[in-house]
Amino acid sequence: MVKRFDGREWDEIRKMEAKVGIIPNANGSAMFKFGDTYAIAAVYGPKLAKVPTKYDKAILRVRYNMLTFSVPERKKPAPSRREIELSEVIKRALEPAIFLEEFPGTIIDVYVDIINADAGTRTAGINAASLALADAGIPMKDLVVAVAVGKVGERIVIDLTKEEEDYDSEKLKGTEKEKYIEYYGEGKATDIPVAIIPLTKEFTLIQLDGEIDKEDLEKALKLAQEKSIEIRNVLEKAIKEKYKETKL
């Protein structure tokens, strides 16, 4: 039976790995992997803003960066428009979970770096950042978890790879990968990265790249909500692992 390009089921997330406290010099840090997509995050703060801020809560700043060697062809090191936008997207996904009002006059800096990219870097980055914030002891409603869902051809799937994001049944015809059309069906791909606060099932991010009808969108979002628990368990385990290693 033909399955997804990498042999997964439609509702199966790539192998996840998470580790907390990987950067001793940061206040909080973590790494998170979805298969070959590998993100690290470091948190500095809350630190007093040099110039008094007029805000009655902490300012969250996020910088997302894809390392030059994270993609098959060297990426220019200067921040691209895409990276500037993703920094904002990740910030907005995290903000609703953090009790920023507990730290007025301060700044919390979050640095997300993508070591290796095979799609889903913003979602892996959110998971790493959320773990790093927890590691820094910053109070949150719950961890924010993220994953991409979407449609490849006619199939709803979770955690798309780059090969799936680029799917186009027309282009596969006559190639050795033609057999996959039997699994995915005709058409192109629609990618929907989402972030969720598992405790409340609230979405803090929904983006959509492609086309999808309302019924399929609802199915895809439901899938993400169901699977958010699985991701949360991986994150929670990583936090517990760190404290297991701490000698009291």
For residue 124, the minimal CB distance to ligand ADP (Å) is 8
In the complex with ligand ADP, the residue whose CB is nearer, 113 or 191, is 191
Q: Is 71 in the site for ligand ADP (CB under 6 A)?
A: yes
Give the integer Cα–Cα distance in Å for 237 and 52.
38
- Residues binding ligand ADP: what is the number (CB under 6 A)? 13
Sequence-ordered list of residues with C-beta below 8 angstroms from that of 128, at least 6 positions apart, any chain: 18, 30, 31, 32, 39, 40, 41, 112
Task: Map residues 105-144 to x or -, x wherever contact with ligand ADP holds by CB under 6 A.
Answer: ------------xxxxxx----------------------
Q: Is 188 in the site for ligand ADP (CB under 6 A)?
A: no
In the complex with ligand ADP, the residue whose CB is nearer, 70 or 106, is 70
In the complex with ligand ADP, the residue whose CB is nearer, 75 or 155, is 75
For residue 118, the minimal CB distance to ligand ADP (Å) is 5
Q: Output the residue with the shortest Cβ distance to ligand ADP.
A: 121
Give the integer Cα–Cα distance in Å for 203 and 228.
11
Question: Which parts of 213-232 interact with ligand ADP (CB under 6 A)?
Answer: none
Q: Is 161 in the site for ligand ADP (CB under 6 A)?
A: no
Taking CB under 6 A as the criterion, the residue among 47, 57, 61, 162 binding ligand ADP is: 162
What is the SS3 string spanning 113-142?
EEEECCCCHHHHHHHHHHHHHHHCCCCECC
DSSP 40-57: EEEEEEEEE-SS--S-SS
DSSP 153-215: TTEEEES--HHHHT-BHHHHTTSTTTTHHHHH-SSBEEEEEEEEETTTTEEEEE--BS---HH
In the complex with ligand ADP, the residue whose CB is nearer, 18 or 93, is 93
Contact set with ligand ADP (CB under 6 A)? 71, 75, 82, 117-122, 162, 165, 191, 193
